Structure 1
Amino acid sequence: MLEKKDLCIVHIGMPKTGSSTLQEAFDKGLNDSRVLYPKFPESNQSGRIYGLFVKNYLSYHFLAAQGVNDKEKLQLFRDKSRKILHDAFCSENKSIILLSGEDLFHMTEEEVINFKNFLDPYFKKIVIFAYVRPVKSLLESAFQQLVKYHKKNNLDPSSLYHRYKNFENFDKAFGSNNVLLYKFSKGDLIGSDIVLDFCKKLGLEDTYSDGKIFNESLSREAVAVLFTYHYHQKINSDFGDKKYLVANEFVELLRGISGHSFKFSSKYYERVMLQFESDYSWIKKRISDDFYEDIYADDLEGFSDEKDILLYSTRCIDFLLSLLKNKVVPFDVVDHPQTVAKLVDLIMVDIYKKMF
């Protein structure tokens, strides 16, 4: 009969809550000799764990990237992932297993129940842990990521807002007393260190981060340029299966635009909160920490709608021209968002030609 381990800690990496820093520390190993973090090819275990339980596997981006496009390949993938977890769960001299993945936040109620049923035979106790980011800063970060990597070209709140009630699926399956939720605020972290804060909150031996900061933020100017390019879809060249590589190269060039952080205005925030009022009310009651945000702090710099962003992008025309390095521009350069989009496309075509 399988001897159960004392504890499984499942870190749900809600987007933009320092998950990359935590996962790098987990993968290198915490100072607590009781803890084991199962070894997968990636420090972020999202795809390997969620891939075991996701119902609509053909639409899951991680499995698509792994070439899992039929049930036979899915079974092979799952068998391999289960074996890695089973071997870790049965390892000697380790009484605590630690798991972590951002995509776990998006699990449906059925998927969470299946996840729990998978873990139950191995552990005496299972604790779910998550940092929860307040909505304004979450929306701003989520928007950046979608603009950078998913050609986001509108401000539709439903595609940016992360429903906090997703946590309710874990409350129902594991019991709310086993689901630990903490407001994510860099200023409130113990020792200003998220790894140390995580360990302290869970009663683990102190471990400190290595000081490496995983910050993928772009300036508001860079975000505006990318958004404007995506907004003018008809201007976009088709780079086929190389589109992500070309886009990533261009994003790196945009890091050369210095400026302020991207912010939304209180007007936009108020529209979002009106749409998701019941969901946000739920998390404010559920979480023990103060969930207050000053939504008016950035009104002078915050964007309220698509037009605001498009107009702002024209400030970067000179920067975009500099990236072309005196190349002949086959259209009139006027102070207009379409000019921004056309210049970006010229630069991306140039990147494509140099890369391929």
Structure 2
Amino acid sequence: MRKCILHIGMHKTGSSTIQDYLQTHRTQLGEGVVYADLGPANHSGAFQYAFLDNPHGQGMIARKNFSKEKVDKLVESFKSKIISALEADYNTLIFSGEGILNLSESNLFTLKKLISLYVDEIIVVAYVRPVISYMTSAFQQMLKTHSAELSPAIYPKYKQRFLKFESVFFGQVEYRLFDSASLNDGDVLSDFCKRFDLPFLKSEPSNRSLSSLAIKFLYHVQKIRLAERSSLINVELIEASLAGVGSDKFVIPETIADKALLDMSEDILWMSQRVVCPEKISYKDTAMVTNDVSLNIISEDDRAELLRLSYNKRFNNYVIRITGLSIEQVVDKCFSVR
């Protein structure tokens, strides 16, 4: 009996860590277990090229500004790679891409029809992050590439993401709560490996979290930036440069958290009916501050720590290039010291 595991994220639930692990250890996953070789470890792009109705004008693909001819070639290439993976010799085939969530219900019917030609069982698995935890992570990840605000735009929108999967796969979507107390050993990779009987070898997380102070600084840098969104190389520079700044965890202001929980009450109820420990979907961190202008306030020690970033010439030059200001000028322009 052949089966296909379709891991669809959701975003901000350690998907990159799972994908990098499966790609790196593809020869160590066990007899008959294959992680599909579609090129990149993250299969999001492959599935979007292969199954979107009009990939030329869709989000991530449109931003690349490829010619129609190049997009058409990529569509055919990724379709061919997915079919080759399905035709290969395996007992269990794994696909993983949070971008699969961007497919429409019609796209998903096409996807299911194709996969069903080759396997006897399809397991759709999604890790689900609580509302406030998701917003906190999504906000800081967005800040690494462009300006972002704490607004309804970063709500998780569970029903919009997952209902179409339930329609296409007849409700057979396995939801796993992305919460340290719920995950095996508090780790999403360990949890994924245990669920699907894969060997677990320790691995470093693929995305780095930044402190509250680092997020405050980055928020203002991105807000006054002059250039286009950051490239992957610059994101790596941002992460490396700000990794050692500050120690307190970033949490979103309490008033914004409360508004999100109120606005999303119906969506939260829908998701809560599908996970263990449903109360955790609306969990609110007790460390939240109540002052909405907290992004603009730092201490004297915080200011000194941010100014030390100026010694990182590469990062300082990057800040100057995208804002027209040095790190010291950004700090003096954007923060009140209390």
Which position in structure 1 is the counterpart of 2:284?
A: 295
Q: Distance in 2 between matches of 1:269 and 1:186?
A: 20
Q: Decide whether the 8 Å contact of 1:21 with 1:195 is kept in 2.
A: yes
Q: Distance in 2 between matches of 1:148 and 1:242?
A: 7
Q: Distance in 1 between matches of 2:300 and 2:236?
A: 22
Residues 296/212 of structure 1: CA separation in 2 closer, same or farther (3 Å cut): closer
Q: Distance in 2 between matches of 1:226 and 1:139?
A: 16
User: Out of 54, 57, 63, which is 2:55 matched to?
Assistant: 57
Residues 59/186 of structure 1: CA separation in 2 closer, same or farther (3 Å cut): farther
Residues 85/279 of structure 1: CA separation in 2 closer, same or farther (3 Å cut): same
Residues 326/134 of structure 1: CA separation in 2 closer, same or farther (3 Å cut): closer
- Range with greater deviation from structure 2 (127-136 or 31-40): 31-40
Q: Which residues of 2 match residues 170-189 of structure 1 at below 5 A?
A: 170-176=165-171, 178-189=172-183
Map Cα deviations across residues 53-106 of structure 1 (whole Å, 9 max, x no partner): 224523445435765331x322211211122121221113x1221100011123
* Partner SS for 1:51: helix
Query: Do structure 1's residue 35 and structure 2's residue 54 form an aligned pair?
Result: no
How much does 1:197 deviate? 2.2
What amino acid does structure 2 have at the position aligned with 1:42? P
Q: Distance in 1 between matches of 2:230 and 2:120?
A: 48
Q: Decide whether the 8 Å contact of 1:221 with 1:313 is kept in 2.
A: no
How much does 1:275 deviate? 1.6
How much does 1:208 deviate? 0.5
* Partner SS for 1:122: coil
Q: TM-score, normalised by structure 1?
A: 0.79
Q: TM-score, normalised by structure 2?
A: 0.82
Query: Do structure 1's residue 255 and structure 2's residue 213 form an aligned pair?
Result: no
Map Cα deviations across residues 316-356 of structure 1 (whole Å, 9 max, x no partner): 433343333599xxxxxxxxxxxx99443968xxxxxxxxx
How much does 1:191 deviate? 3.7
Give the percent of matched residue pairs that are identical in Structure 1 and Structure 2: 26
Query: Do structure 1's residue 309 and structure 2's residue 295 form an aligned pair?
Result: yes
Return the index of the structure with the highest Cα Rg.
Answer: 1
Q: Distance in 2 between matches of 1:180 and 1:107?
A: 18
How much does 1:271 deviate? 0.3
Root mean square deviation, CA, Å:
3.0
Residues 147/241 of structure 1: CA separation in 2 closer, same or farther (3 Å cut): closer
* Partner SS for 2:76: helix
Q: Which residues of 2 match residues 227-246 of structure 1 at below 5 A?
A: 227-231=219-223, 233=224, 236-238=225-227, 245-246=233-234
Query: Do structure 1's residue 280 and structure 2's residue 268 form an aligned pair?
Result: yes
Which position in structure 2 is the counterpart of 1:168?
A: 163
Q: Decide whether the 8 Å contact of 1:13 with 1:100 is kept in 2.
A: yes
Q: Decide whether the 8 Å contact of 2:145 with 2:230 is kept in 1.
A: no
Unpaired runs of 5+ in structure 1?
328-339, 348-356
Which position in structure 2 is the counterpart of 1:82?
A: 79
Q: Distance in 1 between matches of 2:242 and 2:79?
A: 41
* Partner SS for 1:130: strand
Q: Distance in 2 between matches of 1:134 and 1:22?
A: 19
Map Cα deviations across residues 227-260 of structure 1 (whole Å, 9 max, x no partner): 12233x3xx344x698765565344322231221
Q: Distance in 2 between matches of 1:90 and 1:243?
A: 36
How much does 1:134 deviate? 0.8
Q: Which residues of 2 match residues 197-212 of structure 1 at below 5 A?
A: 197-202=191-196, 204=197, 206-212=198-204
Query: Do structure 1's residue 107 and structure 2's residue 103 form an aligned pair?
Result: yes
Q: Distance in 2 between matches of 1:271 and 1:49?
A: 35
User: Out of 13, 18, 41, which is 2:14 matched to?
Assistant: 18
How much does 1:116 deviate? 1.7
- Residue correspondences, number: 317
Query: Do structure 1's residue 190 and structure 2's residue 180 form an aligned pair?
Result: no
How much does 1:45 deviate? 1.0
User: Out of 3, 26, 39, which is 1:7 matched to?
Assistant: 3
What amino acid does structure 1 have at the position aligned with 2:123? V
How much does 1:286 deviate? 2.4
